[in-house]
Every structure is written in C-alpha cells, then in structure tokens.
Amino acid sequence: MKKEEIEKIIFSILKQIAPDTEPSELALDENIKETLGIDSFDFLQFIITLDEKLNREIPEQDYGKITTMSSLINYLTQNMK
Amino acid sequence: MKEITKITYREALKQGVREALQNDERVFLMGEDVGRYGGAFAVSKGLLQEFGEDKIMDVPLSESGFVGAGIGAAVAGMKPIVEVMTVNFGLLAMDQIVNNAATLLHMSGGQMNVPVVIRMGCGIGRQLAAQHSHSWEPLFAHIPGLIVLSAGTHEDARHMLAKALKSPDPVIVFEYTSMLNIEKEIPVNITRVDISKAKVRKVGKDISIITYGIGVYKCMDAANELASIGIDTEVVDLRILRPLDEETILASVSKTHKALIVEDAWKSVSISSEISARIMEKIFYELDAPVLRLAGVEVPIPYPLHLEDASVPQKNDIINAVKKMLNHD
Amino acid sequence: MIEFVMPSLGADMEDGTLVEWRKKKGDTVKRGDIIAEVETQKGLIEIEIFDEAVIEKLLIGPGTKVPVGSPLALINPIHDKAETIVTTTAKKDLIHPIIEKEKTPASPTVSSDDRIKISPLAKRIATENNIDTSTLSGSGENGAITKEDVEKSIAKKLKGALSQEALGTTTEDETASASISIRAAVAAAMSKSNREIPHYYLEKTIDMTKALVLMNKANKERPVKQRLLPAALLIRAVALSLQEVPELNALWDNGLQIRSDINIGFVVSLRKGGIIVPAIPAANLKTIDEIMSALNDIIPRAKALKLRSSELSDSTITMTSIGEGGADSVYGIIYPPQVAIIGFGNISEQPFAENGMLGVRPIVRVTVSADHRATDGLIGSRFLTALNRHLQNPASL
C-alpha cells in the first residue's frame, strides 16, 4: 500500500474520532493526540480501526513510536508486508 | 499573640481617647462636663487628672458656641475632639457643622482643611424619651464635606477615633449610649484596626443583612439564631455612613442575591433607603428578591420601655424578615 | 386573587387555630363581615374582612393551627382598588408596628395576569439560557419566579435535550443548543454544589506498577478490540472499595442515604466543551472486561449525546480521570445529591519510596472530595486505603 493511501485512511479515521478538527492539516511532526485533543479512549478506538482497515495490530509497547504523522506513517510502511 | 480582654463599650471609648491624647500633642478633648464631672456618660472620667486642664476642657452649655470653637481650633492647626453629649443637642450646632466645618474647604478654594472630630452619643435604649433618643445618622450622612462614622462594635469604639483623627476633613463619630455598659471581648494588643471599609462581620451565602450602629449586635444575634435552623446569613457592618463603601455592599449582595437592611433611624429618606436605591441602580440584575428594610417607626421615640422597644427593629423582627424573604417555614 | 392570611393580633401571637369558617366558597363578603373564628392565646377571635370580595377557596380546615401570615383562603376582590385584608383589632398592631402589614397594593396580583413575576436575577439567567419564563411556576414570595426555579428548568431542559437526541434526530443546530444547555446545567449543578456542600479533600499517591504490569500482560495476549484501559481497572477498584466503605456511595437528602447499588458516574469530556456523566450501573458486580465493554458502549454515545436519561440520573458516586499526559491531580466538585467524587490524575513515572528503597514507578494521585455533612475525613481516608490495597493486588480485581 502506498504512503498516500495510508495517509488518507489515517485522516478519515481521525476525522471520525475528532469531527470538529482538520486532521489533514496536521504538520508531519505535530503530536497527533495533543493537537487533535484525543484522549486514551479515542486513541484505543483509533488503533482498533487501524487494525480493521489495514489489518495491523499495533502492540501497546509501540504506542510511543507513533505519536506524529511522520512517525506513524513510517511505522506502518516499514512493517508493511 | 492574640490576647483577649473583656471591656465595656464605655471603657473602649475611653481607651481610644486616652491613646489619642498620648499620641499627638495637638489633640485635646472639649465638651460639656468632660472634665470635672468625668463626662455625661463617664467616658472621660479621670482624664482631667491625667492630662490636665489644657487637654480636657469643660465648656459652657452652648453647642453652637463650643462646636464652633472646636472648628476654629482645627482651622488653626489643632486636633480637637469635640464631645457633644447626644446627637439630639448636636442639632443646635448644625449651622457650625454644615456651614463651617463641612463647607470651608470648598469656600476657601481648597486652602483650608477642618480636621475636627465631633463625637456624639446616639440612639435609644435608656428610656430617655423623644428629645434624647433619636437616631440622626442619616441627617449627617446627607451632608457633603463630612465623614460620618458609626461605632457598632466594641472594637470599633476602641479604634475608630484614631482613624477619625487622621482625616484632614471634619469627622462625625456616632457612639451608642445604650451600649456603654455592655461588656464584650476584644483583642488587647492590636494597635490599629482598618476602618477604611465596611466590614463583613459574618460571612454567609443565603442573604445579606446590612446594618450599622446598634443594629450590628442585634443582627449578629439574629444571624446566629438563624444559623441554628440552617439559614446562612451574611452580616455587613457599614461603619462608614458617608462616604458609603459601595464596593463591599454590592459584592455581598451580588453573592447572596438578597438584601435586608436594618437600622434604628426612621425609615423614610434614611441610610437604608440610600443603600436600597444603590443596590437597585447598580446591581438590579443580581437581585433574586425585592430589597427589604427594617427601620424605626416614624414616631417620636416613646418613653415607655415596651413602646420604645416596639419603635425600632428587634432581633425577632430581623429573624422573621429573613425567614419571610427566604420562604422559610 | 389575593391571599387572606392569619392576622397578627399582637406581637406575642405566633399562630392561631381555625375554629370555624363563617363563609364558604363562592360567598360574597363585604367590609366588616366575619369570615372565620380563630382560637388564639387571647381567646376566641372573630376575624373580619376589609374588602368586598368573593371567596374563591378555603385553604385550611377547622382545627388546623397555622402561623401568623399563613394563607387561610383565596379571595377575589370585587374592586381593583381593594387593598388589604388584615385584622379585627388593628390597634393591637401598634404594639409591634415593625412587622406592620405593609399595604401591598393588591394590583400587581389582581391586575394583568399575563405579567410574569420574576426576580431580575432569575430573568437574566432565563434570558441567557433561552428559558421561556411563562412556562415556569414560581416558588418565591407571592409566587415570584426565583433563580432556583430557573436553574431547575435548565436542568430539566438538558435532560429533555438529551433524550430527544437519543431518538437519533440530531441536527447541527440541536447539537449546538444541547452543548449550550450542557454548559448551563454544569454551571447550575456546580454552583449549587459549591454553595451548599461543605467539601473536604483527601489525596493519596498510589503505585500503579503491579496493576499496569498485569494489564499490559493481558493486553499483549488479546486482540486489539479487547484491550483494556487503566480506567477499567480503576473503576473496578473503586467499586470494590466502595463495598467496604459504603458511606461514600450515597445520596444526601436531609441526611445520609446509603445506596446498595454501586453505579459509578464516569466523567466524559465533550469535544465542544462541557462534561457529561453517564453511569456504569452495578460496577461492583461486573468484571473488568464487562466494565471495559460498558465503557466501549457508553463513551462514544456520551460523546455523541445519545444517552438515555436513566444513564444520566442513576449515579451514586462520580469518578473523574484526567487521563494520559494531563494534570497530576484533580479535586472534583461533588455532583449533588451525591456525597463524593473520586479524582484520578495522570499516571506518570515518579520517584517512589518503599521499604527504604527509592525507585521510579508509574504512580497516580487519587483524590476524594466528599461532603462533610455526610461523612468525615476518616471515611474518605479508609476509602483511599482500601483502593490502594486493591490496586496492589490487581490479580484479585
């Protein structure tokens, strides 16, 4: 899957969780949770939906590696099979 | 350390006068019978022996004359404390007070201050009948150029004079003759009490009771009794009747949204009517009920005790009024 | 219409007992007529009326003792200028003129019925919150609408807004107005709480190492969908601790009323501001997994304002959790009529001393704000101790 496609999926999930924000305007190095005001419950929903759409289970200990758009996309593309 | 002593209102006044005489050599006390007799209400008893005739001055029985002399002494650089036996006789000196004391600063284009302090006994409670029992605070509080203080507690009786003597302008201090023999506890080694503002004597949330003078202890007693049935009143002691401390009054009523004003003076054109008007003008949209006033009945104060009691608000009237305003059964 | 009240027949009269009505509903009376007989400390008194009026309703029956000033009957004056009612022996009143029956002009009550009697403050609050005051009934003096009446109506409106949304017809506008109502409801409830409840506050620092190790281990073995959040563990631990210290799981209504159900209200912040507190019912009877699935069900609905009214009203205690990265401690304001709110700060790594050793541990600061009318600090402290014990034995949760 291409980087752009992944990005698009991420944006649509985030928009669903935080409908009053514009995820596509996130800068690459901005902290996603802080910028969009996402709490731990929302974040769990995000991880669940990512798993549904990309078939990727992100283990809890990796949460620290996916805090920004660039690190998240990096993480997802690198481990993509 | 806060040491407490129990003293009478009379003794509190006397300590205030003695302290003023000790602290400033320009200060002297003048009035009818203040020297040899020790004061009509024995407030200055012993001060003649302690300070001598230059400082404790008996004057002829002429209010207009000796209040005028006091004003003259103040203009000439002294700090006179003029004692007028009761405010009822102060009416005889009204021309001096209004036309000279209150007006000279203005008439002299700001060149001449009149730092005179006039102490007056005030209020009822001793069966002295109409000519000796009236509450004239509103009359004096009406006059621009005067500062009008009211000592409703022992602590203020003790410390109000020092505040008054600091003023460059004429100050009337009202003292309450019915309270002279009442004993209360006050802190001993406090040298200054801030009397620049009204004082919230009891903090509460349900209703503001605004009062002064004789009303203070009555309202506090009522507040304590109301507290026992779960009504949390705030009691505001005005202390300064002119200029009014609007800020404290409005802050309190803005918090409780209800105001009861209590005074002994006649109800029409009084301190309470002034406060009621200002509340309405400034914080109408904070009011959750009409302002209520308890004031003196508009008759000359009668001589018989039961009628005298009936002519001014009492503790139970205050309690009933508060219950009524709060719809408390 | 005006009230005919028990007259004061002197300062010492506090109440009177109605002995007999001399008139009945519908009778027309004129000035000087005897309307009733009242037994007082001074004997049997005939009560006159001073107006021409029609008796609309007799409010109390013979044998009833009522305080001075209580309404006895409603009468409808025939002439608009009708003034007062008052008493038999007016001269007695001179003894105590302070509580003189001020001649309240009857006109405001009898004249225009469409004029709403409302205090300026109540009117201001009503306008700010879009409350139609003509629908309110007043509890103040002479039926005036007061601040309290308006606040009650705002709270009611909020419930209405929510149940309407539960039906699923939410437009953008409705969501916006619901969020305004929520703000107003939070404002009203919190103001009332702060005004009326004497809060006391306690705090305990709790080591979360064992609980988190257990949770992380469990999460590793689970599919994403069944992962747990610390909140689920904390709710479970709170529920078990409340079983041991039931005094905090209670309501205050003229006294402490301990509840047997433990329904934990969980504070959910709304994205547009404001909070909403859905209940997790019978939390003590649920496993951690059941609590987690309850959260999964209720939190998204709470955020979308699609809750049922029972989910909003059944809480017996409230719990608020600041969540990851936020403030270290939170001192809540009790949601009346509950008697306590439990606050969890952000779980963060901190130096922590135990058994003479210092280590870096994930810790959480837990607070209790409780109603001092209902319980004392000792109870709150017992609760925190129990909570700590449960979190140090997470296997038994």
Model pLDDT, residue A79? 63
Of A34, A44, A60, nearest to C216 by CB-CB distance is A60
pLDDT, tens digit (0-9, with 9 covering 90-100), for C258-283:
998 999 999 988 877 788 888 899 99
Contact criterion met (CB < 8 Å) for C123 and B329: no
Contact criterion met (CB < 8 Å) for B285 and C121: yes
Residue C65: list chain B partners with CB under 8 A: none
Model pLDDT, residue C20? 85
pLDDT, tens digit (0-9, with 9 covering 90-100), for A27-70:
888 888 888 888 888 888 898 888 888 888 888 888 888 888 88
Q: What is the mean pLDDT of residues C191-203?
A: 92
Which range has highest mean pLDDT (A53-57, A60-64, C128-132, C243-247)?
C243-247
Contact, B219 vs B191, CB < 8 A? Answer: no
> Is C99 touching B (CB cutoff 8 A)?
yes
Probe site for chain A from C234, C271, C346 (most A CB atoms < 10 A)? C271
Per-residue pLDDT for chain B (329 aa), expressed as one digit of tens each? Answer: 568 889 999 999 999 999 999 999 999 999 999 999 999 999 999 999 999 999 999 999 999 999 999 999 999 999 999 999 999 999 999 999 999 999 999 999 999 999 999 999 999 867 899 999 999 999 999 999 999 999 999 999 999 999 999 999 999 999 999 999 999 998 887 777 778 899 999 999 999 999 999 999 999 999 999 999 999 999 999 999 999 999 999 999 999 999 999 999 999 999 999 999 999 999 999 999 999 999 999 999 999 999 999 999 999 999 999 999 998 76
- Search chain C and give the residue with CA nearest B293: C98
Contact, C338 vs C316, CB < 8 A? Answer: yes
B132 is catalytic: yes
Q: In Å, how far is C85's CA from the nearest CA of chain B?
A: 19
Residues of C with CB under 8 A from a CB of A: 216, 219-220, 223-225, 227, 229-231, 269, 271-272, 295, 299-300, 323-325
Tokens of A61: 């200990």
Q: In Å, how far is C71's CA from the nearest CA of chain A?
A: 56
Model pLDDT, residue B236? 98
- Inform me whether the pLDDT recorded for C29 exceeds 90: no
Q: In Å, how far is A11's CA from the nearest CA of chain C?
A: 18
Q: How many CB atoms lie within 10 A of CB C117?
A: 15
Model pLDDT, residue B4? 86
Q: In Å, how far is B36's CA from the nearest CA of chain C?
A: 42
- Search chain B and give the residue with CA nearest C100: B297
B246 is catalytic: no
Contact, B223 vs B233, CB < 8 A? Answer: yes
- Search chain B and give the residue with CA nearest C125: B285
Task: Supply the CATH number for residue A14's domain.
Answer: 1.10.1200.10
Contact criterion met (CB < 8 Å) for B297 and C140: no
- Phi and psi at residue C167, to the nearest 5°: -70, -10
Q: Which chains touch A (3 or more CB pairs under 8 A)?
A: C
Residue C231: list chain A partners with CB under 8 A: 40-41
Residues of B with CB under 8 A from a CB of C: 205, 257, 284-290, 294, 297, 306-307, 310-314, 317, 320-321, 324-325, 327, 329
Model pLDDT, residue B137? 97
Q: Tell whether ipTM is more than 0.85.
A: no
Q: In Å, how far is A43's CA from the nearest CA of chain C?
A: 11
Do B and C make contact via 3 or more CB pairs under 8 A? The reply is yes
Probe site for chain B from C15, C98, C123 (most B CB atoms < 10 A)? C98
| Domain region containing A8 | 3-78
Contact criterion met (CB < 8 Å) for A39 and C324: yes
- Search chain A and give the residue with CA nearest C269: A39
Residue B317: list chain C partners with CB under 8 A: 98-99
Q: How many CB atoms lie within 10 A of CB C178?
A: 23
Of the candidates B11, B32, B63, B263, the residue annotated as catalytic is B63
Of the candidates B19, B132, B142, B286, the residue annotated as catalytic is B132
How many Å apart are CA B228 and CA C207, to the nearest integer?
45
Q: In chain B, what are the domains?
A: 4-187 (3.40.50.970), 199-325 (3.40.50.920)
Contact criterion met (CB < 8 Å) for C216 and A59: no
Name the residue type at position B84.
V
Tell me the pLDDT band of C172, cut-offs 50, 70 and 90.
Answer: low
- Phi and psi at residue B224, to the nearest 5°: -65, -40
Do A and C make contact via 3 or more CB pairs under 8 A? The reply is yes
How many Å apart are CA C111 and CA C80, to the nearest integer?
7
How many Å apart are CA C166 and CA C178, to the nearest integer?
12
Model pLDDT, residue C79? 64
pTM of the predicted model as reported, rounded to 2 decimal places: 0.53
Q: In Å, how far is C45's CA from the nearest CA of chain B?
A: 24
Q: In chain C, what are the domains?
A: 2-110 (2.40.50.100), 120-184 (4.10.320.10), 199-396 (3.30.559.10)
Number of domains in chain A: 1
Q: In Å, how far is A39's CA from the nearest CA of chain C?
A: 7
Contact criterion met (CB < 8 Å) for A60 and C231: no
Give me chain C's average pLDDT, please.
Answer: 81
Residue A40: list chain C partners with CB under 8 A: 229-231, 323-324
Between chain B and chain C, the number of residue pairs with CB atoms below 8 A apart is 53
- Inform me whether the pLDDT recorded for C113 exceeds 60: no
Q: Which chains touch B (3 or more CB pairs under 8 A)?
A: C
Residue B287: list chain C partners with CB under 8 A: 119-121
Residues with Cβ within 8 Å of residue B224, at least 6 apart in sequence = none
Least confident of B193-207, C278-292, C310-324: C310-324
Contact criterion met (CB < 8 Å) for C147 and B312: no
Which of C113, C57, C44, C105 has the alpha carbon at shortest distance from C79? C105
Contact criterion met (CB < 8 Å) for C119 and B287: yes
> Is A47 touching C (CB cutoff 8 A)?
yes
Per-position DSSP letters for chain A, written without gaps between them: --HHHHHHHHHHHHHHHSTTS-GGG--TTSBHHHHHT--HHHHHHHHHHHHHHH-----GGGGGG-SBHHHHHHHHHHT--
- Inform me whether the pLDDT recorded for C105 exceeds 60: no
Contact criterion met (CB < 8 Å) for C98 and B297: yes
Which of C189, B243, B149, B254 has the alpha carbon at shortest distance from B234? B254
> Is A64 touching C (CB cutoff 8 A)?
no
Q: What is the mean pLDDT of residues C169-196?
A: 70
